[in-house]
């Protein structure tokens, strides 16, 4: 069986292409046989397919890595190094384990999680300090530690190259790398250096980063930061830093695509406009340079807070307050410059538009503000925006600008100012970060734009992709070099590894008659245009294999880059390459009264990196400012274009990187939606191809990618050979025996000094062999162990069964006997139980029937009552409704009658009025009228006399009022005396309370008297309760009678009146008799209490007075006042009561009886309280009480 047949056996996991997922996992349904034309597979989604194969089996689908290798932290350790294996390993680590870092040889792959990760604190920095790369999980700190350790050990220059597309996290990775170097390279006395290095990041992000459609904080320039270290006693300390920038995207200052923003600093300044009222700023939507993208806000980011951080960082890095104020003025001037309106101009004396010229109003507010902020002449600025100067040998000519040319001049000036300001800020940062002392070595951190391709690609994308081509070439050469060095170190034979060389693509761009050369040549032409340059490209560059011309038109061209083929639009290439700005406008700004504006405009454009390389004594990154002498401006023929400058800067950068030991960080953007841990396979595989990760994998796979140390290989695969061929003392020989037994082809492996090198797939083959052998050996061991276990179980079961049978037979005999006993006892118990159950069932049934009957009768009675009540209520409702209808008809009829009467009376009144009006004109009428006036005068005289008499009476009553006032004063004196008496009574009450305490001490001697008093009290309370109940019953009965009397029908009213009268008379008579008896009892008790009170007030007990004992023995008819018997006649006939009084009189009689009872109760209560008080005041002693009792006995 060949190795392919063994690996592609039934159940093996493979990868197959997929339209959306790129690669999909599948399982073999049948084993592969050599020469087979297809494979039957089952995909992960459950679909059965057939994959066609070539006869030689060269296109077999890639195998999945063993489960033990899935999720490895280094992609090069995978047994099968291919695209789907790398992609699956990254997905498992990122999505399932949420690990964002993975090694790929010397590359650190960082996937942007779009979420906050707790991976960058001081504790994490301390954890990675001192550990080699590979000891801990992959991390940006591990890569930085590797570089720092190499710097300490070898004292050489190193670099960290961070690349990736926009939004992949390049800036953040570079920031954390510099944070690590600042942390481990700091000291107690030089903390200010690290602080300055970290403070440079927010400044560069504010002035060089912007929001794009792919990233909210995209770097729009390349940055190479040198962290300078010095060797002090064998320890590297951070001394300073320098910063070199490349290709700032100046066009963003004047134009942004939809959904993008300008540089952050403009929006931060607008958010903090309240701090700078002199800048006359407004909301960002009011400025032309800021409202093009339509996306002025960034989620979860406050521009005002970011501005405060930027200003604070500038203060830390040495910017003075005046410098910061001048910088914000220049930024505000750029914004106002963009709002200057260029309008149409008309010919003098006519309304015809002049298309060759334009106009700017003198009173344009933004023009004046720009001049004030930049401290330049607004008129000069307006003049050179509207005009341009063309110089000849001996003279110059002024030509007016069209609207488009004026707007282009305005935008070019804004871009020029911002680029110069950015260059100035970088220069100040470099001065602050570099203290001027000689450095020992450096670590460079390169944060540069990744490969870009958009729908419309222009000059910026061309330069960016050109830089990535150069960096990819340097990366390939370095990886190839490391791979070959590894083979030489291990002492194995090797052959040249073929890898992708992008030198032809670079030659297309930078060689003679290449893209850049033709572009510079076209820029030097007086009438050069984008279209003519495109024609030259198609004619000259068609010989290059990486160049393609478009199918239609000549406004674009194609270049086959290492990652993708990109179409470039030629529109704007020449203008952006020239980067021309009016010399007169720059001269206007150079003559500004602001010192900073003058310095900014006179900066020299130099390549700081090349200067740094040429002059070892200079630390680089310094900006040359020549404010004292006039700078000689180069002519157009000798002025370098943007493309040539970028080419030179890129060449110096590559030479610097070649002189260092590079470390690579490849940042991956997992999705375009910026969703946390969302995986888009198609996007990620495109980035892996573009950033060189798959190329690294391919180079590793072309050689010997799988490498095992001899001890590790021996421990894992020692069971593949017999023990006689193993020697622990010579593991290299043992490993050789293992490999040579199973791998016959010697080209599939190499034996190094410390490692074994395998080609791709061989480790997986050994894993499959090891798994098969383990399965075979395990099956044999399991069979022997199972026989031993089952035989031992059988013997135990046999012994247990014999014992169980013996005990079971005895148990069954005892159970049989017990069942016979229980059967006899059960018959007896069931007899009595059945009888008891029958009795209980009968009693329950009888009780249930009685209860049902009770509730049924009650329900029937209630239903009957409810029916009667409903009938009665219905009758009442009918009565009221009929009455309401009758009243309504009566009112309606009455209203109609009144209307008729009013109409008739109005008619009669009108007729009478006409008659009287006619009579008024006669003489007799006038006489009658005057006669009426005489009568009125006489009556008024009589009224006056009556008023005089009333006045005299009132005077008499006034005198009576004075008498009444005197009586009132007398009454007030009586009230004062009453209050004094009341106070005296209160004093006596206190004395009574004191005596009451003495009386309680002799409670035992007076128990009989108190018991009798208690009995009387209980009888009184019970009688009182009886009266209350009777009164309530009487009230309820009366209310019912009233309701029945009111609701009776008219036809039965006379009969019901007679019945109610009889019931009333009888009940009133009974109530009257009870009330008379209650009154007599209460009067008797009141009489006794009064006598007792009189005796106590006399100061001693009366021996011959009435006692409680003989008072209770009297006849009830003899007790009470005689007037009570004569007042009410008990034996009056009931007919007098019923006939002489109406229904209302009976109700008043009940109310009077009630009031009499309440008065008597109040009197009894008052007398009882007085008795208690007096009895407590005059407490008799034990001897006096006994003597009184003896005297009472003699008297009887």
Distance CA 846, CA 706 (A): 97
Residue 715 lies inside a defined structural domain of this protein: yes
Buried b (16+ CB within 10 A) or exposed e, 268-284: bbbbbbeeeeebbbeeb
Strands 222-232 and 661-668: unpaired
pLDDT value at position 612?
Answer: 54
pLDDT in tens, 480-511: 666 676 777 777 766 655 556 778 888 888 88
Annotated binding site for ATP: 164-171
Indicate the angle between helix axes 83-91 and 681-690, nearest 10 degrees: 120
Predicted pLDDT at 868? 94
The Cα 283–Cα 297 span in angstroms is 12
In a 10 Å sphere around its CB, with 0-12 CB exposed, 13-18 middle and 19+ buried, how is residue 625 labelled? middle
Residues 6+ apart with CB under 8 A from 818: none
- Cα–Cα–Cα angle for 874, 879, 880, nearest 5°? 100
Please check whether residue 895 lies inside any domain of the structure.
no
Task: Classify 597 as helix, strand or coil.
Answer: helix
Q: Cα–Cα distance between 571 and 255 in angstroms, integer?
A: 15
**For the purposes of burial, counting CB atoms within 10 Å of the CB of 764, is it exposed (0-12), middle (13-18) or buried (19 or more)?**
buried
Model's pTM, two decimal places? 0.57
**What residues pair up with 590 in beta bridges, in sequence order?**
none
**Residue 4 domain flag:** no
Give first-to-last CA distance, the chain, whole Å. Answer: 146
What pLDDT, on the 0 to 100 scale, is given for residue 1150?
54
Measure Cα distances from 8 to 35, 37, 181, 414, 879 in Å. Answer: 13, 14, 49, 66, 105
Tell me if 685 is assigned to some domain. Answer: no
**How do 343-346 and 235-246 pair as beta strands?**
unpaired
The ranges of the chain with pLDDT < 50 are: 187-191, 611, 613-638, 1099-1146, 1178-1179, 1181-1182, 1184-1185, 1188-1189, 1191-1193, 1195-1196
724 belongs to a structural domain: yes
Q: What's the rounded Cα separation, in Å, for the pair 670 and 87?
A: 12
729 located within any domain:
yes
Domain count, the chain: 1
DSSP code, position 436: S
Distance (Å, rounded) from C-alpha 113 to C-alpha 117? 8
Q: Binding site: residue ranges?
A: 164-171
What pLDDT sits at residue 634? 43
Q: Which domain holds residue 715?
A: 710-758
- Structure tokens, 1006: 């007076």
* Strand positions, DSSP E, 432-509: 441-447
pLDDT at 761: 64
Measured between alpha carbons, how far is 487 from 774 in angstroms, rounded to an integer? 33
Cα 1129 from Cα 1124, distance rounded (Å): 10
Provide the pLDDT for residue 1131: 42
Query: Which candidate, 141, 19, 1183, places its Cα nearest to that of 681?
Result: 19
Q: Is residue 499 part of a domain?
A: no
Mean of per-residue pLDDT scores for the chain: 79
| Rounded (5°) CA angle 950-953-959 | 145
Span 202-216, pLDDT tens digits: 898 899 888 887 778
pLDDT at 823 (0 to 100)? 92
CA distances to 1031, 1035, 1146 from 1151, rounded to whole Å, are 11, 10, 9
pLDDT of residue 54: 79
25, 43 Cβ separation under 8 angstroms: yes
Query: Is residue 1076 a contact partner of residue 1130, using CB atoms and an 8 Å limit?
Result: yes
In a domain, 740, yes or no: yes
């Amino acid at each position: 069986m060949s190795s392919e047949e063994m690996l592609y056996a039934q159940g093996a996991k493979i990868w197959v292409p997929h339209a959306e997922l790129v690669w999909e996992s599948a399982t073999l349904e049948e084993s592969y046989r050599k020469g087979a034309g297809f494979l039957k597979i089952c995909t992960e989604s459950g679909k059965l397919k057939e994959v066609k194969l070539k006869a030689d089996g060269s296109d077999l689908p890639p195998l999945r890595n063993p489960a033990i290798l899935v999720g490895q932290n280094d992609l090069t350790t995978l047994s099968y190094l291919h695209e789907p294996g790398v992609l699956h390993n990254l997905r498992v680590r990122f999505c399932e384990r949420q690990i964002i870092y993975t090694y790929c040889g010397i590359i650190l792959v960082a996937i942007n999680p779009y979420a906050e990760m707790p991976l960058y604190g001081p504790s994490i920095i301390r954890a990675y300090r001192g550990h080699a790369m590979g000891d801990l999980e992959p991390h940006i700190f591990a890569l930085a530690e590797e570089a720092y350790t190499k710097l300490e050990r070898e004292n050489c220059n190193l670099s960290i190259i961070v690349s990736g597309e926009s939004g992949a996290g390049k800036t953040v990775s570079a920031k954390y790398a510099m944070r690590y170097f600042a942390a481990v390279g700091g000291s107690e006395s030089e903390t200010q250096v690290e602080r300055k290095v970290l403070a440079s990041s927010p400044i560069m992000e504010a002035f060089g980063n912007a929001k794009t459609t792919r990233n909210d904080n995209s770097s729009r320039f390349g940055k190479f930061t040198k962290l300078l270290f010095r060797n002090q006693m064998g320890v590297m300390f951070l001394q300073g830093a320098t910063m070199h920038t490349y290709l700032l995207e100046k066009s963003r200052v004047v134009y942004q695509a939809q959904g993008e923003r300008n540089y952050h600093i403009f929006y931060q300044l607008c958010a903090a406009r309240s701090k700078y009222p002199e800048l006359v700023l407004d909301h960002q939507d009011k400025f032309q340079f800021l409202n093009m993208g339509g996306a002025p806000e960034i989620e979860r980011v406050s521009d005002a807070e970011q501005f405060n951080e930027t200003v604070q960082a500038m203060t830390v890095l040495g910017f003075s307050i005046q410098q910061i104020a001048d910088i914000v003025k220049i930024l505000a001037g750029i914004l106002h410059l963009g709002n200057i309106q260029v309008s149409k101009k008309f010919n003098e004396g006519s309304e015809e538009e002049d298309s060759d010229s334009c106009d700017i109003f003198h009173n344009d507010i933004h023009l004046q503000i720009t001049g004030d902020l930049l401290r330049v002449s607004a008129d000069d600025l307006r003049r050179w925006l509207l005009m341009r100067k063309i110089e000849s040998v001996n003279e110059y000519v002024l030509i007016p600008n069209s609207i488009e040319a004026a707007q282009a001049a305005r935008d070019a000036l804004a871009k020029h100012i911002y680029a110069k300001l950015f260059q100035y800020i970088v220069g100040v940062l470099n001065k602050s970060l570099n203290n001027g002392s000689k450095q020992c070595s450096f670590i460079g951190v390169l944060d540069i734009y990744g490969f870009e391709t958009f729908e419309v690609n222009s000059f910026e994308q061309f330069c960016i992709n050109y830089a990535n081509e150069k960096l990819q070439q340097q990366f390939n050469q370095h990886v190839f070099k490391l791979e070959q060095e590894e083979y030489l170190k291990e002492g194995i034979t090797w052959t040249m590894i073929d890898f992708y060389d992008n030198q032809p693509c670079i030659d297309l761009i930078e060689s003679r008659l290449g893209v850049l050369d033709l572009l510079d040549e076209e820029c030097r032409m007086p009438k050069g245009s984008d279209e003519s340059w495109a024609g030259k490209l198609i004619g000259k560059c068609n010989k290059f294999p990486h160049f393609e011309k478009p199918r239609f038109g000549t406004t674009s061209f194609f270049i086959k880059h290492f990652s993708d083929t990109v179409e470039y639009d030629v529109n704007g290439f020449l203008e952006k390459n020239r980067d021309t700005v009016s010399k007169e406008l720059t001269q206007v700004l150079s003559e500004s009264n602001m010192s900073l504006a003058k310095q900014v405009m006179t900066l020299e454009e130099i390549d700081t990196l090349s200067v740094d390389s040429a002059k070892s004594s200079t630390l680089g990154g310094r900006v040359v400012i020549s404010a004292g002498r006039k700078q000689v401006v180069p002519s157009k023929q000798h002025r370098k274009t943007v493309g040539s400058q970028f080419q030179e800067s890129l060449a110096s950068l590559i030479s610097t990187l070649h002189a260092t030991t590079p470390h690579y960080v490849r940042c991956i953007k997992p999705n375009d939606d910026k969703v946390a841990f969302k995986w888009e396979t198609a996007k990620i595989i495109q980035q892996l191809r573009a950033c060189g990760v798959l190329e690294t994998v391919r180079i590793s796979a072309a050689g010997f990618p799988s490498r095992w140390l001899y001890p590790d290989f021996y421990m894992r695969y020692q069971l593949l050979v017999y023990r006689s061929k193993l020697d622990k003392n010579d593991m290299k020989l043992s490993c050789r025996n293992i490999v040579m037994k199973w791998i016959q082809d010697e080209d599939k492996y190499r034996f190094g000094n410390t490692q074994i090198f395998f080609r791709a797939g061989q480790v997986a083959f050994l894993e499959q062999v090891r798994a098969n052998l383990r399965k075979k050996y395990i099956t044999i061991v399991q069979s022997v162990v199972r026989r031993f276990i089952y035989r031992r179980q059988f013997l135990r079961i046999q012994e247990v069964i014999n014992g169980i049978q013996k005990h079971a037979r005895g148990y069954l005999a005892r159970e049989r006997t017990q069942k016979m006993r229980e059967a006899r006892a059960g018959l007896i118990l069931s007899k009595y139980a059945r009888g008891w159950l029958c009795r209980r069932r009968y009693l329950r049934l009888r009780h249930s029937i009685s209860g049902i009957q009770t509730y049924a009768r009650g329900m029937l009675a209630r239903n009957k009552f409810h029916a009667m009540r409903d009938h009665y209520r219905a009758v009442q409702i009918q009565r009221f409704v009929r009455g309401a209808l009758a009243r309504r008809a009566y009112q309606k009829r009455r209203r109609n009658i009144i209307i008729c009467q009013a109409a008739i009376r109005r008619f009669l009144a009108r007729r009478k009025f006409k008659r009287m009006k006619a009579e008024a004109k006669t003489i007799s009428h006038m006489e009658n009228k005057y006669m009426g006036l005489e009568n009125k005068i006489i009556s008024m005289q009589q009224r006056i006399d009556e008023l005089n008499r009333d006045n005299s009476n009132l005077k008499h009553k006034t005198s009576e009022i004075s008498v009444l006032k005197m009586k009132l004063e007398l009454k007030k004196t009586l009230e004062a005396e009453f209050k004094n008496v009341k106070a005296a009574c209160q004093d006596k009450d206190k004395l009574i309370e004191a005596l009451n305490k003495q009386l309680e001490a002799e409670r035992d001697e007076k128990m009989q008297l108190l018991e009798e008093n208690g009995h009387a009290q209980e009888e009184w309370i019970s009688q009182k309760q009886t009266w209350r109940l009777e009164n309530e019953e009487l009230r309820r009965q009366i209310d019912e009678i009233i309701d029945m009397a009111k609701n009776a029908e008219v036809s039965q009213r006379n009969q019901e009146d007679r019945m109610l009268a009889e019931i009333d008379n009888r009940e009133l008579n009974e109530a009257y008799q009870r009330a008379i008896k209650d009154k007599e009892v209460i009067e008797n008790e009141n009489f006794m209490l009064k006598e007792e009170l009189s005796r106590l007030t006399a100061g001693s007990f009366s021996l011959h007075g009435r006692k409680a004992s003989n008072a209770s023995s009297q006849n009830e008819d003899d007790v009470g006042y005689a007037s009570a018997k004569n007042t009410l006649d008990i034996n009056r006939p009931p007919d007098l009561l019923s006939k002489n009084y109406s229904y209302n009189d009976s109700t008043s009689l009940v109310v009077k009886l009630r009031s009499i009872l309440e008065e008597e109760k109040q009197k009894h209560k008052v007398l009882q309280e007085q008795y208690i008080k007096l009895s407590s005041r005059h407490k008799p002693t034990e001897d006096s009480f006994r003597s009184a009792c003896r005297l009472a006995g003699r008297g009887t």
